[in-house]
Structure 1
Amino acid sequence: MSPDLLEQGGERLRAASGPGYGRVVLPGQLDLAHGRILYLEDVHVSFDGFRAINGLSIDISPGELRCIIGPNGAGKTTMMDIITGKTRPDRGTVFFGGTIDLLRHSEAQIAQLGIGRKFQRPTVFEALSVYENLELALQGSRALSASLWGVLSGEQRDRLAEVLMLIRLQDQMTRAAGLLSHGQKQWLEIGMLLVQDPKLLLLDEPVAGMTDQETERTAELILTLKGRHSIVVVEHDMGFVDRIAEKVTVLAEGSVLAEGSLAQVQADERVIEVYLGR
């Protein structure tokens, strides 16, 4: 590597294999030259002989909001487990951008790379205030006591204020998280991901158990985030999917059954047969 490159960018990394082989990127920089932020190809996972994921191939573009639907047991949650390193596939390719092979990284490393995941059930610190939950997420690499007693920079305080406005909990910032409604806890958990500025958000059934009003506010929040982050939403609520989706992927038996707009997949006879019914 030339001295000029070293001066301009410091030490640079080359991918050892996979999409983007040979492309030079700065450490910590996501290579989006191929127009993909997430790429899975021919992924297989079996549990005790059951094929949970069977030849799954899917790719997500930078800034895209993709909805994933399908019957129970279709492999939606397992797909998220694979992306976040919780489950290792038997075979297949899983890349974040053009050069980061996620199968070579641990769960903690994948989170640090910029992939944030919200599970079906909200996981917040109920004894702490809304603000303290966000502060802890912002400084998650530090010890709990240090995070809560540390001094935030002006930039960090501005970031927390911005996220509080986005999730519409600015009036609840001093309230214990355990006293929030179910929907508010879901928004708080999304906020805890947002303060870490993830490049890719994975949201697993974000409106499950919500009231109609909470569901509508969640749709507004996600649409606000669209373009700022790449977002993958797994959801069963078709009204909610219709509200937010441009492109929908239908999974069945661990692979892609159909893909397109919601209207297109709803009209697909295979989707009607295995998921929507008549």
Structure 2
Amino acid sequence: MAGRFGGAFGRVLQRRGSSSAPSLDLTHNIILYVEGVTVSFDGFRALNDLSLYVAPGELRCIIGPNGAGKTTMMDVITGKTRPDTGSVWFGQTLDLLTLGEPEIAQAGIGRKFQKPTVFSEHSVFENLELAMAGDKSVWKMLFARLTPEQLTRIDEVLETIGLKDHRSARAGSLSHGQKQWLEIGMLLMQDPALLLVDEPVAGMTPQETERTAELLTSLAGKHSVVVVEHDMNFVRSIARTVTVLHQGSVLAEGTIDEVQNDPKVIEVYLGEPRC
């Protein structure tokens, strides 16, 4: 089994979990609370009293140079890194700092890393099938007959990610952009409430970048989406609210025009178009 599927299979099983996700309490209209979070590595503060709030259905862009704390922030939210101080809540009642990575994924937080991880030797359809949420053993997941509802769900996701005409194609034969969309689709099969997406358009063609902007924009409202990105043209095309990180803290927050015209941002980044 390990030889056929490798590390990607383990990651999908970890994301899947074994029971339904707990319901979220969104009575204050906030889905993610990151409050006063500090993370230090050998004396270096990767995050410094960071506070961030994301609303249900929001599309948030996070920008900042290398070392600003973007990846560490996502590591904390998904349970990969434990902070020195601070709190991280999913809705009103779910304390993420008490949960492990699989439990956080099961609770409804999906993370897409910059490099896509798909099952290269399997079809696009099979990749989505393997990622499907639910309490199923490995063998049942691979060989059981899908229900009409499950088939409908896979078709819906194929339509959303723009790969309906590639359902039978081997995932390894897809372009870089198509692999990125497939991995987003694999996360969508688990119906996460919150998606964390790391540099989704790195290495994409202009056409793929445009399609990715359309895809992420279409997900907002149904899901909360947090996008970490360096490509400022792409950020401008999708941004509703932009948060600028600098030295592990929030430097500025607002629309793309507001942050790009903020004197603090201009001073820190010397007016460069890439943040």
Q: Structure 2 length as normaliser, TM-score?
A: 0.89
Measure the CA separation in 2 of the matches of 1:57 and 1:73: 17
5 Å-filtered alignment, 1:93-104, equals: 93-104=87-98
Amino acid aligned to 2:115: R
User: Per the alignment, do residues 135 and 228 of structure 1 end up closer, same or farther by CA in structure 2, a change over 3 Å counting?
Assistant: same
Query: Which protein shows a greater Rg?
Result: 1
Aligned equivalent of 1:111, options 105, 116, 121: 105
Measure the CA separation in 2 of the matches of 1:141 and 1:238: 41
Q: Deviations over 1:172-204 (max 9, x none)?
A: 111111110000000000000001100000000
- Contiguous gaps of at least 5 residues in structure 1: 1-26
- Contiguous gaps of at least 5 residues in structure 2: 1-20
Aligned equivalent of 1:171, options 165, 169, 177: 165
Measure the CA separation in 2 of the matches of 1:226 and 1:139: 20
* Residues 1:58 and 2:26 aligned together: no
Q: State the shift of 1:28 in Å.
A: 1.7
SS in 1 for 2:186: helix
Measure the CA separation in 1 of the matches of 2:216 and 2:225: 8
Runs ≥4 residues deviating over 4 A: none
SS in 1 for 2:131: helix
Measure the CA separation in 2 of the matches of 1:204 and 1:75: 13
Q: Deviations over 1:81-103 (max 9, x none)?
A: 00000000011010000110000
Q: Structure 1 length as normaliser, TM-score?
A: 0.88
Aligned residues: 252
Measure the CA separation in 2 of the matches of 1:246 and 1:28: 28
Are the counterparts in 1 of residues 133 and 189 from structure 2 also a CA contact under 8 Å?
no
Q: CA RMSD in A?
A: 1.2
5 Å-filtered alignment, 1:32-71, equals: 32-71=26-65
Amino acid aligned to 2:158: L
Are the counterparts in 2 of residues 69 and 234 from structure 1 also a CA contact under 8 Å?
yes
Comparing 137-146 with 196-205, greater Cα deviation is found at 137-146
Sequence identity (%)? 66
